[in-house]
């Protein structure tokens, strides 16, 4: 065999090892990253509307909550509720558990 052939084989073998190492690193990073769980904005607004109006209301008209809120225990945010007299009330929403259970109270 020629020296050039040996060098080429060695280079190919080394390249395969580098590619395999990169694949392992990428896999570890992807597996270690947990996807962010977000609350469903419409469902939160319906729940706020039902709590404020004291009944099971399926309409969320006049209720505005932030979009893309983390479903992380302890996370808090405010929703605004348009009142019948034209004013605006605010409701404090707290995420009770990682499954998205909420506690809603007047701010």
pLDDT tens-digit series, residues 43-92: 999 989 888 876 655 568 889 999 989 888 999 999 999 888 888 989 99
Domains held by the chain: number: 2
Containing 80, the helix (H) or strand (E) segment is strand 76-82
Same domain? For 49 and 8 the reply is no
CA pair distance 6, 4, nearest whole angstrom: 5
Same domain? For 68 and 94 the reply is yes
Same domain? For 96 and 71 the reply is yes
Q: Please give the pLDDT value at position 93.
A: 95
Same domain? For 46 and 78 the reply is yes
Same domain? For 29 and 56 the reply is no
Domain that holds residue 80: 41-106
CA pair distance 102, 72, nearest whole angstrom: 10
42: Cβ contacts below 8 Å, ≥ 6 apart: 60
Same domain? For 63 and 80 the reply is yes
Same domain? For 26 and 49 the reply is no
SS3 21: helix
Question: Higher pLDDT residue, 45 or 16?
Answer: 45
Q: Tell me if 93 sits within 8 A of 102, measured CB to CB.
A: yes
Q: How many CA atoms lie within 13 A of 15 on its CB side?
A: 6
Same domain? For 51 and 12 the reply is no
Same domain? For 5 and 48 the reply is no
Q: What is the pTM of this model?
A: 0.63
Same domain? For 89 and 62 the reply is yes
């Amino acid at each position: 065999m020629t020296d050039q052939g040996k060098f080429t084989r060695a280079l190919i073998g080394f390249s395969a090892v580098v590619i395999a190492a990169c694949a392992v690193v990428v896999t570890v990073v992807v597996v270690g990253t947990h996807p962010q769980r977000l609350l469903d904005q419409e469902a939160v607004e319906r729940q706020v509307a039902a709590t404020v109006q004291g009944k099971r209301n399926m309409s969320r008209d006049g209720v505005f909550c932030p979009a893309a809120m983390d479903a992380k225990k302890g996370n808090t945010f405010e929703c605004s509720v348009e009142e019948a007299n034209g004013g605006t009330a605010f409701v404090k929403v707290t995420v009770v558990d990682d499954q998205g259970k909420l506690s809603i109270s007047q701010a």
